[in-house]
Amino acid sequence: MQDSHTVENDFLNKITKIIEANISNEQFGVSELANEIGMSRSNLLRKVKSLAKVSVSQFIRQIRLKHALDLLKQNAYTVSEVSYKVGFGSTSYFIKCFHDHYGYPPGEVGKKDFSKNDPVLEKKPQKKLKLKLPVIVLFLIILALLVYLFYPEVKKEEELEKSIAVLPFINDSNDSTNVYIINGLMESVLNNLQKIEDLRVVSRTSVEKYRNSPKLIPEMAKELNVNYFVEGSGQKVGDQILLNIQLIDANTDRHLWAEQFQREAKDIFQLQTEVAKSIADKVEAIITPEEEELINKPLTDNLLAYDYYLKGLDQMHEQTVEGLVNAIPFMEKAIELDNEFASAYAAIAICYYYIDIFQIEKKYSEEINNYADKALLYDSDLALSLIAKALFYLQGFEYELAVSYLEKALKYNPNSAFVINLLSDFYANHIPDTEKYLEYALKGIRLNIAANDSVTTSYIYLHVSNAFIQTGFVEEAENYINKSLAYNPDNLFSQYVKAYVLYAKNGDLNETKNLISKALEQDTTRIDIMQELASICCYLRDYETSYYYYKKFTDIRETQGMNIFRHKDGQIGFIMEKMGFTDEAEKYFDRYKEFAENDQSIYRNLNLAVYFFYKGETDKAIEYLSQFSEEENFHYWIILFFYDEPFMENLKNNAEIKKIFHKLENKFWKKHKQIRSSLEKENLI
C-alpha cells in the first residue's frame, strides 16, 4: 500500500508531465490543466496549494522556468527563442519572471558554473543523522502520541468547495399556468441560498440555459464549475403544494439527499426557508445568525399579493422592454393587497430604470426614486431595495452614493451576480479603481459565466480580459480575450481590446492599427472604433489619417448630440492644430480643459497635465503630473502609452518627467504584485 507521501509525489509528478507536454502552449493554464487531470478547477487549486505550497499558476510557471533553464544551459537558443519554447508570449515578461525566480536574468545562465551547487537553484544537502533503531522507534512513538493528543481527528485530504447550482424546477402539473409558481419556488430557494456567504451559488441566468437541456450532471458541472446541484419538481393541486428536492454530488452524479415536501399553499414561505436550510445543512455550510434572520423573513404574509408578485417576476425575467412594462401592473396589484410589500416596490423601481435606460431624456426618475424609497421604508435590509435606490443614483450620475448602496446590498446577498457586475462596471468606468474592478470582474465570472447564449458569454469574458489588462496581467488578459472571441468572433469590442492586449505584449503599434482597422471595416458606423483608430494613428505620427477618422467621429458625435469620449478632445485639438485648423483646435482644447477641471475621478490631475502639455506649458503640466503620481490604482494604459503621446516628442529626456514616470512605474508594478498575491489567496487566479 502506498503511503500518503508517495501518493502526493505521484500526483505532482503526473501534473508536471502534463504541463511539460504542453510546455510551448502559452494558452495552457489552470483551466486546461484541470481538464487534463480530470478535476474541477477549485479542487485542483486547493490540492496543489496543499501539496506544493504555491498556486497552480505559480506551479505551472515554475515548471516552465525550470525547462527554460535546461534549454539555456545548452547554449543553443537565444533568450527570445527559449521564452517562446516554454510558453511565454512576451520575452520581457519571461525575463522578469526568470529573474524573480532565480535571482539573475536568463542572459547570465551561460556565464554560470553549474558544476557547483548554485545556492539559488539547490538547497545544500544536510548531513545525515545516524540514528540507531531504538532511537527511531522512540521518536515515532512520541510523534504518534503528539498527533493523538493534539490532532484527535484526521482532516479529510480535501474539502469540497461549497459551490451550488440550483437547476430550473420542473412543473409536474399539466396546468401550464402553474409554471410561474414552480419558477417562484426555485427563485426563492436560490435567493435564500445566495444570502449565505459560506456558499458559492451561481446565478439564475447561468442555470436557465439548462431548463430543457439533455446534458448530464458531469457535463453541466464542468461548465459551471460547481460541486453540487439542486434539482426540483413540483405542482400546485388545489391549496396543496407538492415539491420534490434532490441534492446531487456533481463529481459522482450521486444523490446525496432527496425529500418530498407537501405543504398547504399558505405555508409556502416556510417551505422555501426549510428547503434552503436543509440544502445548506447537507453541504455543511455555516449560516450566521444575521443570515438566518434574513432567510427567515418572508417577503409578504399575503398569498394573493405574492401570487401577483411571482407573475410580475416571470415577466421581468424575459429581459425585454415589453416584459418590464407588463411586469409593473402585476407588482402594483401586489402592493394594493399588501402596501408594505418591499420587494414589489423595488421591482417596479428596477423596471422603470431599465425602461428608461436608453432614453436621452429620462421620463421615470421620480417614479424610480419614490418606489425605491418605499422599498427601503418597509425593508431597509432587503438587497433588492438597496439595488433599486442605487439605480436611482446611477441614473442621476451620483456614483459615490450609488456604490454605497450596492456594497450594502452585497453584504446582504454576497452571491448576487447582478450586484457584483454593477460594482465591477462602477470601478471600471465611474469610480476608477483597477484592483476592485478586477476583483469584482473575477467574482462575477465565478457566479455568472454560463450565460444563456454565446454572445453574452463573450461579453463576460471581454469584461474580465479588460479588467486583467488594466492591472497589467497581460497573459491572463490575452487568455480571456481569446475565450471571448472563441464564443463570438464577431464581437468587435473584443477585437479591438485584443489589439491593445497584443500591444501590451508585443509593443507593435502598426499591428495595433491593422487590427483596429479590420474591426472598423466590419462596421464602419462604429464611432468608438473610429476614435480608437484615430488615436493610434496619432501615436504613430500619422496625423492626416488621424484627422480623417477624428473628423468622421466628431461629425457624428455633434450631429447626434452625444456627450461621449470627452477625454479625447485634447488629442482632437492637437490633431486639428497639426492640420492647420487653429480655431477648431482651440474649441476642442477649451472643451478638454472643462472636462478635466470637472473630472471627479483619480485622473483629474493627469488630464490637466495632458492639457498643459498640449498647450506647451511644461512647468504647469509637470506640477499636475507630480500630483497625479500620488494616486493609487491607476490603469496600465498610462504606463504603456505615456511616451507614445506626441507632446512627449521633445520631452523624453526631461529629468523631472523621467523621475515622475519612474515613480508611477514602480507604484504600478508594486500594486500589480500586491493584487496578484491577493487574488491567488482567494483562488481567483
- The confidence band for 253, taking pLDDT boundaries of 50, 70 and 90, is confident
pLDDT at 147 over 50: no
Q: Which of 299, 247, 226, 311 is nearest to 268 (CA)?
A: 299
For residues 62 and 18, state if they share a domain. Answer: yes
Instruction: Give the residue with greater pLDDT, 452 vs 440.
Output: 440
Instruction: Indicate the helix (H) or strand (E) that contains 230.
Output: strand 228-237
For residues 357 and 232, state if they share a domain. Answer: no
Q: In the listed set 239, 269, 297, which residue is the last one of a domain according to the structure?
A: 297
Residue 420 maps to a domain: no
| Angle at alpha carbon of residue 420, lines to 414 and 426, rounded to 5° | 140
For residues 445 and 529, state if they share a domain. Answer: yes
pLDDT at 117 over 70: no
pLDDT at 128 over 70: no
- Residue-wise DSSP of 597-617: HH--STTHHHHHHHHHHHTT-
For residues 196 and 173, state if they share a domain. Answer: yes
Q: For the residues 357-371, what does the mean pLDDT come to?
A: 87
Cell numbers at 44, concatenated: 485542483
For residue 561, the model assigns a pLDDT of 78
For residues 538 and 598, state if they share a domain. Answer: yes
- The confidence band for 127, taking pLDDT boundaries of 50, 70 and 90, is very low
For helices 383-395 and 399-412, what crossing angle results, to 10°? 170
Total number of residues shown for the chain: 685
Residue 407 maps to a domain: no
- The confidence band for 92, taking pLDDT boundaries of 50, 70 and 90, is low
CATH code, 28 = 1.10.10.60
Cell numbers at 335, concatenated: 402592493
Residue 455 maps to a domain: yes
For residues 366 and 478, state if they share a domain. Answer: no
pLDDT at 447 over 70: yes
pLDDT at 520 over 90: yes
For residues 146 and 182, state if they share a domain. Answer: no
For residue 629, the model assigns a pLDDT of 95
Look at 26-30, 143-147, 156-160, 559-563 and tell me which has the smallest mean pLDDT.
Answer: 143-147
For residue 152, the model assigns a pLDDT of 42
User: Domain count of the chain?
Assistant: 4
Q: Which residues contact 71 (CB under 8 A, 6 or more apart)?
A: 77, 82, 85, 86
Which of 205-219, 309-323, 380-394 has the highest average model confidence (pLDDT)? 380-394
For residue 45, the model assigns a pLDDT of 74
Residue 416 maps to a domain: no
- The confidence band for 453, taking pLDDT boundaries of 50, 70 and 90, is low
For residue 142, the model assigns a pLDDT of 47
Q: For the residues 311-319, what does the mean pLDDT come to?
A: 86
For residues 279 and 332, state if they share a domain. Answer: no
Query: What's the chain's average pLDDT?
Result: 84
Residue 582 maps to a domain: yes
Cell numbers at 112, concatenated: 554560470
Look at 42-46, 102-106, 185-189, 215-219 and tell me which has the smallest mean pLDDT.
Answer: 42-46
CATH code, 238 = 3.40.50.10070
Q: For the residues 169-191, what does the mean pLDDT come to?
A: 80
Question: What distance in Å separates the CA atoms of residue 434 and residue 243, rounded to the nearest whole number?
Answer: 45
pLDDT at 356 over 60: yes
Q: In the listed set 137, 159, 181, which residue is the last one of a domain according to the structure?
A: 159
Residue 190 maps to a domain: yes
pLDDT at 123 over 50: no
Residue 414 maps to a domain: no
Residue 601 maps to a domain: yes
For residue 41, the model assigns a pLDDT of 66
CATH code, 397 = 1.25.40.10
For residue 140, the model assigns a pLDDT of 47
Look at 169-178, 183-192, 401-410, 659-668 and tell me which has the smallest mean pLDDT.
Answer: 169-178
pLDDT at 640 over 50: yes
Q: How far is CA 137 from CA 126, 127, 142, 149, in A?
A: 22, 21, 9, 18
Instruction: Give the residue with greater pLDDT, 257 vs 147.
Output: 257
Q: Structural domain of residue 45, as residue ranges?
A: 1-159
Cell 452571491: give the residue: 415
Look at 141-150, 260-269, 279-288, 457-466 and tell me which has the smallest mean pLDDT.
Answer: 141-150
Q: In the listed set 132, 159, 186, which residue is the last one of a domain according to the structure?
A: 159
For residue 149, the model assigns a pLDDT of 43
For residue 364, the model assigns a pLDDT of 93
CB 182 within 8 A of CB 170: yes
For residues 584 and 674, state if they share a domain. Answer: yes
Q: For the residues 642-661, what does the mean pLDDT come to?
A: 91
Question: What distance in Å separates the CA atoms of residue 439 and residue 353, rounded to the nearest whole number?
Answer: 26
For residues 147 and 198, state if they share a domain. Answer: no
Listed in sequence order, the DSSP H helices in 22-132 are: 30-37, 41-52, 56-73, 79-85, 91-102
pTM here is 0.58
Listed in sequence order, the DSSP H helices in 289-396 are: 289-296, 303-316, 321-337, 342-356, 365-378, 383-395
Cell numbers at 47, concatenated: 490540492
pLDDT at 659 over 80: yes
Over residues 470-479, the pLDDT tens digits come to 999 999 999 9
For residues 383 and 454, state if they share a domain. Answer: no
For residue 113, the model assigns a pLDDT of 60
Q: For the residues 281-300, what does the mean pLDDT come to?
A: 86
Judged by phi (left if over 0) then psi (alpha if -120 to 50, else beta), residue 103 lies in: left
For residue 137, the model assigns a pLDDT of 47
For residues 60 and 177, state if they share a domain. Answer: no
**CA-based end-to-end distance of the chain:** 35
